[in-house]
A and B are shown apart, each in its own frame.
Chain A
Amino acid sequence: GENVEQHPSTLSVQEGDSAVIKCTYSDSASNYFPWYKQELGKRPQLIIDIRSNVGEKKDQRIAVTLNKTAKHFSLHITETQPEDSAVYFCAAKREYGNKLVFGAGTILRVKS
């Protein structure tokens, strides 16, 4: 089955700096890769996703890149702000299937 590894487990950055979180997956049939953000005490919410037919997707200060050959994908947050502090989860899923497999999560702290 699919296995998703996520690094680092914790990340501290200074406000205004960039943050990068990396994930690798094992199932070459996976083709959908969402990222979820979970603020303290709240539910995880989708912030960006990418399908395997594209290599990069951007939405304002966040971007996701995908390298299908190497089976890894990354979340990039630029100009970090204190409200970016949260736990971020990557995940992977096959085209037809219900099962979304999550990474272990990254605690991002943005210091002001």
Chain B
Amino acid sequence: DVKVTQSSRYLVKRTGEKVFLECVQDMDHENMFWYRQDPGLGLRLIYFSYDVKMKEKGDIPEGYSVSREKKERFSLILESASTNQTSMYLCASSLGQTSGNTIYFGEGSWLTVV
């Protein structure tokens, strides 16, 4: 059974703080993703990675960076958190590039920036 684990479920951070969201998957998946979920906006892709040390911007990368030093781990970094980054963040992973490779999500990290 695929497992995508997000280390923090609920965080409260202050404006300007640096925030790290960690994600680990145990299925040797090549691809890892960070999405942001907001009501009425669906799931929006922030960044994704298709290999170690590789990353590509998604639709809303501004204010975020990522790190993938090991295949199983993908970190989302908010260099200087702002209140408009209060949201639910979902990590996900999948095999390869071809169609039909199911994306598996983590449980989500609820971030509040005050």
Interface residues of A (CB under 8 A from B): 1, 6, 9, 31-32, 34, 42-46, 49, 51, 89, 93-105
Contacts and interface: CB of A to CB of B under 8 A. Distances in A.
Given A45-B105, A98-B31, A89 B42 contact: yes
A44 B43 contact: yes
26 contacts: A1-B59, A6-B42, A9-B40, A34-B102, A42-B107, A43-B4, A43-B107, A43-B108, A45-B105, A46-B102, A49-B102, A51-B100, A89-B43, A93-B99, A95-B98, A95-B99, A96-B97, A96-B98, A98-B50, A98-B97, A99-B58, A100-B45, A101-B59, A102-B35, A102-B43, A105-B40
B34 interface: no
B48 interface: yes
B103 interface: yes
Given A42-B107, A99-B48, A99-B58, A104 B42 contact: yes
A1 B31 CA distance: 20
A99 B48 CA distance: 8
Contacts of B44: 102
A1 B56 CA distance: 14
Interface in B4-57: 4, 31, 33, 35, 40-45, 48, 50, 56
Contact of B103 (A1, A6, A100): A100
B42 A103 contact: yes
Contacts of B99: 31-32, 51, 93-96
Contacts of B40: 9, 104-105
Interface in B55-114: 56, 58-59, 90, 94, 97-100, 102-103, 105-108
A72 B4 CA distance: 31
